[in-house]
Amino acid sequence: MTGVFQAVKVTDRVYWVGAIDWALRDFHGYHTGRGTTYNAYLVMGEKIALVDTVKAPFKDEMLARVASVVDPRRIEYIISNHSEMDHSGSLPAVMEAIKPEKVFASQMGAKALGEHFHIGGITAVKDGEKVALGGIDCVFMETRMLHWPDSMFTYLPEEELLFSQDGFGMHLASGERFDDELDWAVMESEAAKYYANIVLPYSPVVAKTLEKVAAAGLKVKIIAPDHGPVWRRDVGKIVGLYGKWAAQKPTRKAVVAYDTMWGSTAAMAKAIGEGLAAGGLDVKVFAMGGAHRSDVVTELLCAGAFVVGSPTINNGMFPTIADLLTYAKGLKPRNLVGAAFGSYGWSGESVGQVAEILKAMKVELAGEGLKAVYVPDAAALAACRQLGLDVAGKVNQNTA
Ligand code: FEO
């Protein structure tokens, strides 16, 4: 009888044995509207290796997919490319169930797995080290801080296949396992969202890793990440996008994010948006009462401007704006022009507070911030439109 959970053949010697999480909607603060997958892979040499595991509650699904190919107890090696718990959460239970000969991880990975699960017995491997499975080799490539200290890739020269853990991944649950079976527009947008929300702060490491892979002349026919589809048709396209996103070259796009108490900061945002558009920019406006922080930072990818508005409430900024700025600051978007704005009643601290955070984010400010008392009049709205034009002028210079 055929089991419910089946493996999917990637090549003659590699199978996908991961899990599909259709229900996930939050990944540590990132809205995952299309769910995700936790990809694990079986490599069938004379010895059998399992590359990564899955989030703890999905262990049985993964082992059932393994069992559709081979008795899981025949797995000799487990390779942990990344210790974050969406890929290692089931590792202790899997080790207990199958008793592998060895578990390999980078040096930092061995440390991190020990610190997560309070287990020993992890074999640390070095950059460039090779483990022969018999008929097929696993070559390890350290990718420290892409995106954790422990991160590494595993390359199979015989298959020209790269297991890239989170790199080149996306949160996209689907019945299809390969890029050529899915809509490119959906994959591009989810890959961009993943890059902006997870990988962006490590863009310099991405650029160096791409250089290192090119310099090594590594032939890569297939990229098998830990989330989303396996790339076998569009390897060049996704690698090209990573190069572009890592460079963070600004484009003529402006992101405006605001919240509002009584509609005044909203009116300012609209007027600023008019100025930005009149200045020739593509404008995306987010009302944070109904928008998600992870969608705003996705639009910040390769944007030229970030303009943020908050009314003053109890001498501070609106909580939704504090949330967005805390999140966006950590992701280190670069090469942005920006401004702060907002309505106030009697003290008006929020605009200065927003401007301070934008400065800390290395955003080039167009002025010290624009305030309007209570309800903006025609002159205040004209000043907002002019601010949009000023920001657009700076972006046009930066992108000329
Ligand atoms: Fe998919 Fe960094 O974990």
Are residues 242 and 373 both part of a single domain?
Answer: no
Q: 6: which 2 tokens?
A: 């089946």
pLDDT of 216 above 90: no
Residue 131 structural domain? 8-247
Average pLDDT over residues 218-226: 97
Are residues 38 and 67 both part of a single domain?
Answer: yes
Distance 89 CA to ligand 1 centre (A): 11
pLDDT of 163 above 90: yes
Closest atom, ligand 1, to C-alpha of 227: 1
The ligand 1 site (C-beta within 6 Å) comprises 82, 84, 86-87, 147, 166, 226-227
Instruction: Please return the burial class of 195, using the count of CB atoms within 10 Å of its CB with bins 0-12, 13-18 and 19+.
Output: buried
Query: Residue 2: its pLDDT value, please?
Result: 87
With cut-offs at 50, 70 and 90, classify the pLDDT of residue 352. Answer: very high
Which among 219, 247, 275 is the end of a domain?
247
Determine, yes or no, domain membership for 3. Answer: no
Q: What pLDDT digit, counting tens, does each position of 23-71 carry?
A: 999 999 999 999 999 999 999 999 999 999 999 999 999 999 999 999 9
Distance 82 CA to ligand 1 centre (A): 7
Structurally, how many domains does the chain consist of? 2
Query: Residue 293: its pLDDT value, please?
Result: 98
Three-state SS at 137: strand
pLDDT > 90 in the chain, percent: 97
Q: Whose CA is nearest to atom 2 of ligand 1?
A: 84
Are residues 310 and 243 both part of a single domain?
Answer: no
Are residues 225 and 281 both part of a single domain?
Answer: no
Closest atom, ligand 1, to C-alpha of 198: 2
pLDDT of 156 above 90: yes
Distance 284 CA to ligand 1 centre (A): 29
Distance 374 CA to ligand 1 centre (A): 45
Per DSSP bridges, beta strands 8-11 and 14-16 are: antiparallel
Query: Residue 63: its pLDDT value, please?
Result: 98
* 80: β partners: 105
Determine, yes or no, domain membership for 399. Answer: no
Q: Whose CA is nearest to atom 3 of ligand 1?
A: 84
pLDDT of 1 above 80: no
With cut-offs at 50, 70 and 90, classify the pLDDT of residue 171. Answer: very high
With cut-offs at 50, 70 and 90, classify the pLDDT of residue 367. Answer: confident
Average pLDDT over residues 141-145: 95
- For the annotated catalytic residues, the residue numbers are 28, 82, 84, 86, 147, 166, 194, 227
Query: Residue 224: its pLDDT value, please?
Result: 98
Query: Residue 259: its pLDDT value, please?
Result: 98
Residue with tokens 């069938």: 44
Are residues 237 and 261 both part of a single domain?
Answer: no
Q: Do 54 and 62 touch, CB atoms closer than 8 A?
A: yes
Residue with tokens 């090779």: 130
Which among 247, 268, 287 is the end of a domain?
247
Are residues 230 and 267 both part of a single domain?
Answer: no
Q: 328: which 2 tokens?
A: 């966006």
